[in-house]
Every structure is written in C-alpha cells, then in structure tokens.
Structure 1
Amino acid sequence: MTSWIRFQQPHGYIGFGVLDNASIAEYDGDMFGDAKPNGKHWPLNEVELLSPCMPTKVVALWNNFHALSQKLGKAAPSHPLFLIKPPMSVIGPGAPIRRPKGYSGKIAYEGELGIVIGKRCTNVSPEVADDYIFGYTCINDVTAVDLLNEDPNFAQWCRSKGFDTFSCIGPVIEREFDWRKASVVTRLDDVERQNYPLSDMIFTPAEQVSMISHDMTLMPGDVIACGTSIGVGSIKDGSTVVVSIEGIGALPNQLVAARPVEAAAQ
C-alpha cells in the first residue's frame, strides 16, 4: 500500500512523503508530478499531520447512496448533485473544527470517502476517469445545519458547509484502495453513528470524476467528497468525531467553541 501524507514539524517546516511503518519517507518536488525521495525520514510521533492535499476546491456530493435516497424518499439523481467548498474550509487530522463566531445552532458531521484528483481533468470519459484519480482519503463534511434553510428563498448549501475548518480531510491519500470492499465508519465520542458500505454509491468514483469534469476543470489535489449515507447527526462543543475507512485510516477532529476569526491551518 502507498499512503501519501503531509506533515509539519514543531518549528514550522512543512513536507510530504510516504508512510514507512512508524515514519515518513520524505519526498521533494510535486506530490502529483515529479516527486522523488530525498532520503530523509521523520518519526510520526514527532510531527503534526496536515491535510494530505491542498485542494483548490472540494466538490461535495448530495444524495449519492441508495440507502439514504430511499430513506429520504428521493429519486436517484441522473447526474451528481453537488456544491463547492472553498480551500480555506480544509483542515487535517487532529485539527479543531471551530464553531463559527456568532452561530449557536446545530452543527452536523458527515463521514465520507474522498477522491483525490491527480492531474488536470476536463471532459474525460468514464472509461479513462480512473487514470485521473490519484488516490482516496477520509472526509468529515461539516455543516452549520440551521443556516441551510435560513432564507426560504434560497438554500444556502455553500454558506452552511463552507466555513473555515468545515472540511476535515485525512489522514493520508491511499493510492492502492478498493472502494468496493470498504465501508465508512463514523464514531461520535467513541459511539458508532455511521457504518455503511461504499458499494451502495449511486455514482461510482469514475462516474463522478467523468461527469463533474464535464461541468468544471478538476485540478491536481482537488477533492470530491462522495456523499454520505444514513446516520448523520449533530456534534456538541467538545465532542470528537472520528471518520474511519479500513485501508485508509482514521480522521479525528473535535468541535470547539468559537474564537476570533483567523486563517485556518491547512
């Protein structure tokens, strides 16, 4: 298995590389291009893990699982239904999800599989779409639920999901991953809330990449959040959500109370 990772040392140095047992084999260059090992190794317990990629956008799907579609009484869509989340919404494993300042309403988790794009992707066919997928990761697609329908004239998907820290991604990008045999498990304060098979997806990863690439250009490092299934729930301040996918790893993040607005750490 090849697991790509980004990390930061205590003094601020940021690097990337491949997991090698309990250490990171560092690479130079571009993760999605000419990456080459530089011979350095960093112990995992001496670094902070970051989001494994820095997307220009996160494309987040809705109603992409048969089980949830049936529960909601919704017809399966003929094209992926999605919204765009900004890059400043992205955080890595262990980073805090910060409640938006001035918002005291419900905040929800959604454990999901993430597709990481490996090369510029425009108008590709389903038959070749897998060639544009660099690998897979875990995502917690966070939502300020009460804002979604705050204005009856316009559903505010981007606002409710686009706050800083509302796209938790990690811990790694796994290149050798068979999504057909895996499940997403979401735990809230160590209690299982979601456990659903990825084989229940309405649109496969290749179909998602192909169809979305006809709507917009996808860039290296961009992430498609494949949507969630049954079991979405709310998070209280101080609670920790862990999204796990066997073969990729576990993504823990804690919701914390609001603080003055500042840039979220990538």
Structure 2
Amino acid sequence: MIWGRIATADGRILAGEIRESTLIPHPSVGRAPLPVPPEPMAGATLLAPTVPGKFIGLWNNYQASAEKNGWARPEHPLYFLKPGSSVVGQGAQVSVPRQAGRVIFEGELGVVIGQTCRNASPEAAEAAIFGYTCINDLTSLDVLNADPAFAQWTRAKGFDGFGVIGPVVATQVNWRDLTIRTLVNGRERQSYPASDMIFSPAQVVSHLSHDMTLEPGDVIALGTSLGVRPVKPGDVVAVSIDGIGSVEITLVAPPQAEGADIGS
C-alpha cells in the first residue's frame, strides 16, 4: 500500500491509500476505509502523510558515522522529540529563522506506527510498523551547542518546518534494501544504506515502546549517517528513497520584519 495525505482543490484534507491516481479515504492510519467514493488526485496537493502525535528522532544509529566520529555504540536508542508544529511535507517552503544560525540537513528513513504499541517484543514491534517514509531532520547546529551546560536538542530541531516527512508512506518495502539519498540543488550529498543501522526498526520500536506508548501515526526518524552539510535560504533539499519517493523542500529567508503571529 502507498499511503498519503492530501489537500483537495476545494480545501478538504483527506488521508488514505493512493491507488491508480485516486485516494481511498481512511479515517486514520490503521483504520478501515471510509464508505465513500475514491477521491481523484488531480488538482490535489500532497501534505505530510501523517500528523504524528509523537515525532521521535534518533541520534547515533549508524555504524559508519559512529566509527568516523569515535562514538561508542549505544546500549539503548538515543532519541529526542520534535514538536508537531515542525512537520511539513512535499513542496514546503521552510523559513530559516535568524536565531537558528547554521542549519544542516539530515536525510533519514522514517518509521510510521500502525497500531498501539506498549512494552512490545521485537516481534510485536515489527507487526506494529505500518510503513516507511522519507525524513529531513533539519537541525540548527548553533542552537544545539550554544549552551555548554545543556545541549538544546528540542529547540535546535523544533523550529517550524524542521520536520520534513513524505512524500508518502510505503507499507511493502524491505528496509534492509533501501538507500537514503539527500540532494541539495540537484547534487547528491548523502547516499548510505539503511542496512548499516545499529538498531533495526523493530528493535527501535520495541525499545521505545518500553519508555512510552506508541500510537498509530507516530513517526520515528531512524537517524542519519555520513554526509550532512549546512544549507541556507535558496537551497532546494530533497531526501529520496527508491520505493518511497522523494520529499523536497525549499529553504527561504525569514520575513524582513518578524513580529508576533497570534492565531484566533
């Protein structure tokens, strides 16, 4: 199954299985289809394929980067949380706040949870995985390391638009066969095999499910490997994985006058 989420030409937000240029609406990940006709994809805009209640990111989960940087192999997945307001999808324009300073891309494979998962064995965790998607875990290096007493993981990775997910979720791919590629302005900057993970997706889901209940639609970014680089406004960054697709965003400068933006 290919799962997506769209904004229709008349402004409706729908999610479900994408099949033969139509979307078969479902109420949510892991639920049966709604008793409504398929929605034509013509004129629709792809959105982030899920709205995660939890967006979890891993650090130091690839052997190649651990070896190059001299990092010890962790005994438990090392992770942080990104806020839901960071989530954007295919084609988004991401404003780089002035206070962010140096920003890097991190192309990653993402897991989408399909069923409630708590204290799961690796086998049960495997069954709880709905599918896989592309992630760009944008990160402010200057913010992350600004205070020597406290690494600011949440702030550095939590700016609006810094959690890129998409373009779809693929449910029938073998993660061991996947290669994660990141292109900046069309030039390949990352290319590494998912098979180099320290913790497999099922192991990650199992470990995390002992720390917190994982729920349908939650996303886990499985970490990145070698090749991350700074990017700047004007750059077009795409994370591409065969069998899933490519999620592309454009970085833009912040507005000249940034003031309070208060919703009603």
Structure 1 SS opposite 2:37: strand
Aligned partner letter, 1:38: V
Q: Give the 3 Å change call, closer, same or farther, for CA 71–54 of structure 1 in structure 2.
A: same
Report the identity percentage. Answer: 47
- Tell me, in whole angstroms, the C-alpha distance in 2 between the residues paired with 1:163 and 1:246: 28
Separation (CA, whole Å) in 2 of partners of 1:181 and 1:166: 27
Equivalent position of 2:28 in the other structure: 30
The question of whether the paired residues in 2 share the 8 Å contact of 1:122 and 1:213 is answered with: yes
- Cα deviation for residue 120 of structure 1 reads 1.4
Report the counterpart of residue 165 of structure 1 in structure 2.
161
Amino acid of the structure 2 residue aligned with 1:7: I
Residue 127 of structure 1: SS of its match in structure 2?
helix
What SS does structure 2 have at the residue aligned with 1:160?
A: helix
Distance 2:22 2:54 in 1: 26
- In the superposition, the TM-score normalised over structure 1's length comes to 0.93
Deviations 1:203-252, CA, capped at 9 Å, x for gaps: 00000000011111111111000000000011110101000001100000
Residue identity in the other structure for 1:43? M
Structure 1 match to 2:219: 223
**Deviates further, 244-253 or 12-21:** 12-21
- 2:100 touches 2:140 (CA, 8 Å); kept in 1? no
Aligned residue for 2:118, secondary structure, equals coil
**In structure 2, what is the equivalent of residue 68 of structure 1?**
65
Q: Does 1:4 align with 2:25?
A: no
1:202 aligned to which of 195, 198, 210: 198
Alignment partner, residue 136 of structure 1: 132
Q: Secondary structure at the match of 2:99?
A: coil
| Alignment gaps of 5+ in structure 2 | none
Q: Which amino acid counterpart does residue 35 of structure 1 have in structure 2?
A: P
Indicate whether 1:93 and 2:90 are aligned.
yes
* Cα shift at 1:95: 0.8
Contact 2:16–2:28 under 8 Å retained in 1: no
1:149-172 per-residue CA deviation (whole Å, 9 max, x = no partner) reads 101110001110011110000000
Number of equivalenced pairs: 260
1:53 equivalenced with 2:69 (yes/no):
no
Please state whether the residue corresponding to 1:244 is helix, strand or coil.
Answer: strand
Matched residues in 1 for 2:51 and 2:261: separation?
A: 18
**Matches for 1:100-249 after TM superposition, within 5 Å:** 100=97, 102-103=98-99, 105-249=101-245
Task: Report the TM-score when normalising by structure 2.
Answer: 0.94
Of 243, 248, 251, which residue of structure 2 is paired with 1:252?
248
Asked if the contact 1:26/1:37 (under 8 Å) is kept, the reply is no
Inter-CA distance 104–53: structure 2 relative to 1 (3 Å threshold) = closer
Secondary structure at the aligned position of 2:135 is classed as: strand
Cα distance in 2 between the residues matched to 1:83 and 1:43 = 35
Give the partner amino acid of 2:105. Y
- Tell me if structure 2 keeps the 8 A contact 1:130–1:206: yes
CA RMSD of aligned residues (A): 1.6
Query: In the aligned structure 2, how far is the partner of 1:30 from the partner of 1:225?
Result: 20
- 1:114-166, Cα deviation, whole Å (9 max, x unpaired): 00011111110112111111111000000011001101110001110011110
SS in 1 for 2:68: helix
Looking at structure 2, the residues matched to 158 and 97 of structure 1 have their Cα atoms a distance apart, in angstroms, of 18
> Retained in 2: the 8 A contact 1:17–1:24?
no
> How far apart, in 2, do the equivalents of 1:42 and 1:108 lie?
37
Give 2:88's aligned amino acid. I
Q: Which amino acid aligns with 1:48?
A: T
Out of 74, 78, 93, the residue aligned to residue 81 of structure 1 is 78
SS in 2 for 1:79: coil
3-state SS in 1 of match to 2:30: coil
Instruction: Name the aligned partner's letter for residue 13 of structure 2.
Output: I
